């Protein structure tokens, strides 16, 4: 082996060791986060079952999460419904010379998949980011420490209300998104192709069962948990001042989106296997 | 009584506290001096249980808060008021709600009594008619005083002050000094005061102790402090850049 080769191989080995370190560092910090999140969930649930629920702030969080997210959810889901109907309609027109099953496909896609996922993504960007930024700022300005010294458990004071608000509001928002999305599809179908709305509605409702709704509903509860847990965990572990708050917020939104999309697949497989579909 | 024994704390590779021993008797005011970054804030946070030491014990009225249950820790924390270096006011609340926060959680006062107490505590730190303002509408010194009012409002037996007079004008500093003296005189409050302000230290202290390199290197009355032969203390008290406490006097230009 030439000298150059030796140097190269040494460099390569050093590099791979460095990559190992980076990889293991990431893994360790991920597991650490998982551990902290588990402890936090446990504490939150204990607080809720003991009835330590700050009513006033829970209500104000519900308004924040639910009411203030409604306009953007309505806007997003109306257009999603329209685009779904447009795609299905134009595809079936190509095949059968007329738009068929537009209501069925639009309704199904929304209720079991797009409604829950889209709503969760929008809420992760809006509410998850806000939760992390607020708790993170409180952490770096020592307000969390101040809560402790004034005899208040920060989890009880900050996490419980947000947990409840997300848990109950996300499914409601999802239902709103489903309904508005289906109306968006109807609007497009009736105006663009002159299909009577009664046909659209019968297409929507003929194949839908209670299980279809439950399928979407279970998913949205689960996504709500992901959003609020990731957001609180990132917030409570914020370090390094304003820069740290920015980093925590970005990472909160990114992580919850990734977790939502990945867990969606596995959750769907599970629900399908359990015949909840 | 607060008793700190052999407390160690490390951040990464950095040893911030390496075996701190400290005893504060009831009714006494102990002043801790030390250079910036010596670990004074970390020590105070260890004493209230916000930071768990790697080793050693912190006893508050004979309860070791580094090992006790969270309920006991909570009980011990109720006895302590903490004045944060950067005030740490809750910025979603106004001044009134900030000061009333501890009163609502830690005392059984009714609404009227809470109102009275808040007004009284704010007057004590020289603030009036600002109850409705948000912390973002206050100056740094005002925030600090609101933080002080919040910490003493529920009349804790121990108060820990982290640089209470830093950033205040000399007149306001003196008002705060008198406040600390009066709390001790009339309410028998036991205090630990971290400060850089030597004048204030002489005025309020029963004992002065110095934290340097993670250990307590000096302990004495203000009189003893003035005449000590300990070079670290001398340097700090005289405010000189020449002495055993290392500072880079070349402003990094030594490396060029
Ligand atoms: N969370 C932390 N992580 C790493 N180092 C820290 C942390 N908090 C404090 N330190 C270090 O501990 C030392 C003591 O800090 P501090 O107690 O705030 O100093 P001061 O005596 O000025 O109050 C500083 O040098 C700081 O760099
Ligand atoms: Mg400090």
**Per-position pLDDT tens, chain B of length 256:** 888 888 899 888 888 888 888 889 888 999 998 888 888 899 999 999 888 888 888 988 888 888 888 888 888 888 899 999 888 999 989 999 999 998 888 888 888 888 898 898 888 888 888 888 999 998 888 888 899 899 988 888 899 999 888 878 888 888 888 888 888 888 888 999 998 888 888 888 889 998 888 888 888 888 888 888 888 878 887 877 777 776 555 555 555 5
Does a structural domain hold residue B42?
Answer: yes
Note whether residue B205 is domain-resident: yes
Does B163 reside within a domain? Answer: no
Rounded Cα–Cα distance for residues B196 and B218 (Å): 15
> How far is it, in rounded angstroms, from Cα A138 to Cα A154?
10
CATH number of domain containing B215: 3.40.50.300
List the domain boundaries for chain A. 54-273
When CB atoms are compared, the residue of A137, A138, A146 closest to B84 is: A146
Half-sphere exposure of A61 (CA within 13 A, CB side): 27
Distance CA B191, CA A129 (A): 40
Whether B187 is covered by a domain: the verdict is no
Nearest residue CA, atom 7 of ligand 1? Answer: B11
> Do strands B2-11 and B14-24 pair parallel, antiparallel, or not at all (unpaired)?
antiparallel
With beta carbons under 8 A apart, name residues in chain B contacting A136: none
User: Which chain A residue is nearest to residue B159, measuring alpha carbons?
Assistant: A149
B158 and B81 in contact (C-beta within 8 Å)?
Answer: yes
Q: Answer whether residue B55 is part of any domain.
A: yes
Say how many Å lie between the first and final Cα of chain B, rounded: 51
Interface residues from chain B to A (CB-CB < 8 Å): 45, 48-50, 74, 77-78, 80-82, 84, 86, 88-91, 101-102, 105-106, 150-151
B112 lies in some domain: no
Q: Strand, coil or helix: what is A217?
A: helix
| Ligand 1 contact via B42 beta carbon (within 6 Å) | yes
| DSSP labels, B70-84 | HHHHHHHHHTEEEE-
Per-residue pLDDT reduced to its tens digit, B91-108: 989 999 999 998 888 888
Picking from A150, A153, A156 by the largest number of B CB atoms within 10 A of its own CB, the best residue to mutate is A150
Give CA–CA dist A82/A188, Å, rounded: 6
User: How close, in Å, is residue A139 to chain B by CA atoms?
Assistant: 10
Alpha-carbon span B44 to B109, nearest angstrom? 28
Q: What is the tally of structural domains in chain B?
A: 1
Nearest CB partner across the interface for B50, out of A137, A143, A148: A148
Residue pair B36/B212 in contact by the 8 Å Cβ criterion: no
Domain range holding B251? 1-79+197-256
In this prediction, residue A12 carries a pLDDT of 67
- Distance to chain A for B64, nearest Cα, Å: 17
CB B209 within 8 A of CB B31: yes
- Which residues, at least 6 apart from B27, have a Cβ–Cβ distance to it below 8 Å? B184, B188, B189, B190
Residue in the block written with tokens 């030796």: A6
């Amino acid at each position: 082996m030439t000298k150059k080769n030796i140097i190269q191989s040494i460099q390569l080995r050093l590099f791979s060791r460095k990559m190992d370190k980076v990889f293991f560092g990431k893994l360790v910090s991920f597991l650490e986060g998982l551990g902290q999140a588990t402890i936090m969930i446990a504490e939150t649930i204990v607080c809720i079952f003991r009835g330590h629920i700050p009513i006033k702030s829970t209500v104000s969080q519900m308004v924040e999460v639910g009411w203030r997210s409604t306009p953007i959810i309505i806007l997003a889901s109306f257009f999603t419904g329209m685009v779904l109907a447009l795609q299905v309609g134009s595809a079936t027109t190509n095949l059968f010379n007329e738009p068929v099953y537009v209501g069925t496909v639009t309704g199904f896609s929304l209720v079991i998949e797009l409604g829950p996922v889209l709503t969760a993504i929008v809420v992760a960007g809006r509410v998850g980011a806000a939760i992390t930024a607020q708790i993170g700022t409180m952490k770096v300005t020592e307000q969390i420490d101040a809560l402790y010294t004034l005899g208040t458990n920060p989890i009880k004071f900050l996490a419980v209300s947000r947990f409840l608000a997300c848990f109950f509001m996300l499914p409601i928002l999802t239902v709103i998104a489903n309904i508005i999305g289906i109306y968006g599809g109807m609007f497009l179908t009736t105006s663009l192709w002159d299909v009577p709305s009664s046909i659209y509605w019968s297409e929507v409702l003929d194949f839908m069962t209670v299980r279809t709704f439950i399928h979407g509903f279970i998913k949205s509860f689960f996504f709500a948990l992901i959003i609020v847990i990731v957001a609180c965990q990132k917030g409570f572990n914020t370090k390094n001042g304003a820069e740290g708050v920015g980093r925590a917020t970005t990472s909160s939104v990114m992580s919850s989106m990734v977790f939502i999309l990945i867990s969606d697949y596995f959750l769907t497989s599970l629900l399908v296997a359990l015949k909840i579909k | 009584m607060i008793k700190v024994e052999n407390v160690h704390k490390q951040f990464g590779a950095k040893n911030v506290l390496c075996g701190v021993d400290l005893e504060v008797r009831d009714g006494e005011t102990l002043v801790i001096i030390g250079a910036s970054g010596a670990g004074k804030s970390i020590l105070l946070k260890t004493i209230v249980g916000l930071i768990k030491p790697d080793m050693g014990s912190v006893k508050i009225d004979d309860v070791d808060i580094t090992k006790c249950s969270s309920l006991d820790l909570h009980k011990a924390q109720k006895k302590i008021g903490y004045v944060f270096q950067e005030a740490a006011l809750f910025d979603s609340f106004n001044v009134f709600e900030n000061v009333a926060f501890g009163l609502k959680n830690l005392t059984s006062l009714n609404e009227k009594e809470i109102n009275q107490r808040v007004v009284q505590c704010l007057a004590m730190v020289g603030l009036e008619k600002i109850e409705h303002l948000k912390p973002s509408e206050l100056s740094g010194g005002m925030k600090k005083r609101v933080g002080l009012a919040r910490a003493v409002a529920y009349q804790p037996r121990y108060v820990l002050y982290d640089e209470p007079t830093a950033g205040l004008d000399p007149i306001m500093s003196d008002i705060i000094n008198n406040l600390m003296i009066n709390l001790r005189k009339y309410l028998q409050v036991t205090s630990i005061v971290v400060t850089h302000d030597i004048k204030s230290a002489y005025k309020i202290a029963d004992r002065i102790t110095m934290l340097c390199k993670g250990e307590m290197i000096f302990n004495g009355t203000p009189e003893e402090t003035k005449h000590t032969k300990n070079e670290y203390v001398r340097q700090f008290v005289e405010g000189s850049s020449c002495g055993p406490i290392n500072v880079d006097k070349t402003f990094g230009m030594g490396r060029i």
